[in-house]
Structure formats: C-alpha cells, structure tokens
C-alpha cells in the first residue's frame, strides 16, 4: 500500500545515506530507481540527508514532489533560488510565509539572514525545525512559528494533502487530503506588534491564501515596507497576474509587480512574482 503521510525524522547511517544520495543524483540508468526501492525495502524507508546547490543540508522524503526534486538536482525552482541568492543580504530579516520543510529559509540562512519561518502543519513544522537546526544549530538565527498567516488572528481549517505533493497543503487545499484539522492564525501586523523585527525580504507561498496574508499586513506594508516581496499567484496563459486584491494592496503601498519567469519557459497555473518599490529595484540574475 502506498504511503500517504510524510516520513519521520529517522535517517539511515552515514554510509547507506551517502550511497542512496549518490544513486538519486547520478543521472538516469536502467534500474536506478528500482535499486533505490530495493535498498529501502531491505533497510527501511527513511529520510535521505542531502546537500543543496547552495551548500545547506536537508533531510528529504523521496516520495514528496518538492523534496524529490531537491534530492535529485540539489535545488527547486532554480530561477527563484538564484534570485534569492543574489538579492538577500547579510543581516536581512527574512519572513518565509508557508515555509513547508524549509528550503527557502535555508537559502536565506546561507546568505546570513535572520529567518522567521511560518508553517502551520505540525508535521511539516517539525521537519522544518530539524532542517534549520542541522545547519544553523540552536535558534539564534532562526525562529519557526507553527501558525498560519492571514487577515486576522483566530483559527482556520487546514487540509494536509498526500505525501506525493505535500507542498500543496493549505487552507482550502484541493489536493488529495490525508487529514483536515484546525490551525492557529496570526496576521503579520499582529506578529510585528508583538515586538518582532519587520522583514526586509518576504516570501509568500500559501496555496491560494496569499491575498489574506497581504490583507493582514497593511500596517507593515505602509509603515515598515519590505525591500522585496516574492509571492505566488494565479495567472493567465501569458503569465499575467490574476490576483486583483494583491495588486490593489501592493500597488497602493507603492510596489511594482513583475513576473519571475521559470527557467524552462513554461507558464503554469500559479507563477512566482516579485514586488518592489522603484527605489529598491532587485538584481535580476
């Protein structure tokens, strides 16, 4: 029976981990994946510790789409990865809203940023914390917040999707559900009012809930505007943004919005966008 939920944090011993990681990254040859599956049948299915293209380590679940891409290639969404690597600066405050297992948070850590990672799913948040800790140690340069981010404080129903693509889990998610449960919610305005440092750079990817995040950040955007915002949104066949509420909120606070094209050139139903003010235009890699 196909596994439906993420793996625990248990990992293979160092030698076996290195062998499996090497198999996953050695390119295609007949029987490669079959050999990996046989090894996992014998020794158990566990997370594989791998190094990203920017030299950070992650404990990865091969069954998950996003994590499998990182495991085999060392990166995910290379155009966004490169953009963040070029534009993040040492000492930046980075908010990762919808952090999942921490890939984008680790990009920020690799550049010397201070990270606040928001992830409401307790399983994903546990993996996120593990991935941050094995790279940065105790919570001196990062903070994980097990909460959803939205318009106001309260609770919402959260859908955890099948492990095959847990990255599309979220509030009102449309994937194959394995669990539905209540999560705590906080707005970014309320978070900053608690005395937290406002972000210099912010990434927002919450599977269709992005407008709620920006609605709850009105004071932040007007009084302490981030230098750069990266967010995911619905688009048309040409990559034009189809999120009028987000456009209105960001536009009224002086932001320009620009599509960040994918390396392969295809347009998907949801694309990445950049928001910045004219005085702080980002560097395009």
For 57-68, write each residue's pLDDT tens digit. 999 999 999 999
For 108-145, write each residue's pLDDT tens digit. Answer: 999 999 999 999 999 999 999 999 999 987 668 999 99
Cα 185–Cα 117–Cα 198 angle in degrees, nearest 5: 85
Percent of the chain with pLDDT over 90: 78
Q: Which helix (H) or strand (E) holds 95?
A: strand 93-97
Q: Determine contact, residues 231/204, Cβ cutoff 8 Å.
A: yes
In a 3-state reduction of DSSP, which class is residue 61? coil
pTM score, two decimals? 0.95
Mean pLDDT of the chain: 93
- pLDDT value at position 59? 97
For 14-49, write each residue's pLDDT tens digit. Answer: 999 999 999 998 877 777 778 888 998 899 999 999
- Please give the domain boundaries of the chain with CATH numbers for all domains: 76-280 (3.40.50.150)
Q: Determine contact, residues 66/98, Cβ cutoff 8 Å.
A: no
Distance between CA atoms of residues 164 and 6, nearest Å: 9
Place 243 in a pLDDT band, splitting at 50, 70 and 90. very high
Beta strands 148-149 and 177-186: pairing type?
parallel
- pLDDT value at position 2? 61
Q: Which helix (H) or strand (E) holds 34?
A: helix 32-43
For 184-232, write each residue's pLDDT tens digit. Answer: 999 999 999 999 999 999 999 998 999 999 999 999 999 999 999 999 9
Separation in Å, CA 92 to CA 88, 177, 250: 7, 36, 21
Beta strands 228-234 and 148-149: pairing type?
unpaired
Place 1 in a pLDDT band, splitting at 50, 70 and 90. very low
- pLDDT value at position 32? 79
Per-residue pLDDT, averaged over 237-262, amounts to 97
| Orientation angle between helical segments 122-136 and 103-110, nearest 10 degrees | 20
């Amino acid at each position: 029976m196909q596994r439906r939920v993420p793996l625990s944090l248990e990992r293979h011993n160092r030698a076996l981990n290195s062998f499996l990681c090497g198999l996953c990254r050695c390119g295609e040859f007949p029987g490669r994946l079959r050999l990996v599956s046989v090894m996992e049948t014998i020794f158990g299915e566990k997370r594989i510790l791998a190094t990203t293209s920017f030299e950070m380590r992650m404990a990865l679940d091969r069954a998950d789409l996003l994590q499998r891409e990182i495991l085999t290639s060392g990166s995910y969404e290379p155009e966004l990865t490169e953009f963040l690597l070029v534009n993040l600066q040492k000492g930046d405050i980075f908010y990762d809203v919808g952090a999942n297992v921490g890939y984008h948070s680790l990009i920020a850590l690799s550049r010397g940023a201070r990270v606040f990672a928001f992830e409401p799913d307790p399983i994903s948040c546990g993996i996120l914390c593990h991935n941050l800790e094995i790279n940065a140690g105790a919570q001196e340069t990062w903070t994980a917040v097990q909460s959803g981010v939205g318009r106001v404080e309260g609770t919402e129903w959260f859908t955890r999707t099948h492990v095959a693509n847990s990255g599309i889990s979220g509030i009102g998610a449309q994937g194959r559900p394995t669990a539905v449960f209540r999560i705590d919610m906080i707005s970014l305005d309320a978070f900053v009012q608690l005395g937290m440092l406002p972000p210099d750079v912010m990434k927002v990817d919450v599977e269709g809930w992005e407008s709620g995040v920006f609605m709850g950040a009105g004071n932040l955007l007007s009084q302490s505007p981030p230098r750069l915002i990266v967010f995911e949104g619905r688009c048309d066949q040409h990559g034009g943004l189809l999120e009028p509420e987000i456009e209105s909120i960001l536009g009224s606070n002086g932001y320009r919005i620009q599509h960040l094209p994918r390396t392969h050139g295809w347009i998907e139903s949801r694309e990445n966008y950049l928001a910045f003010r004219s005085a702080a235009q980002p560097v395009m890699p």
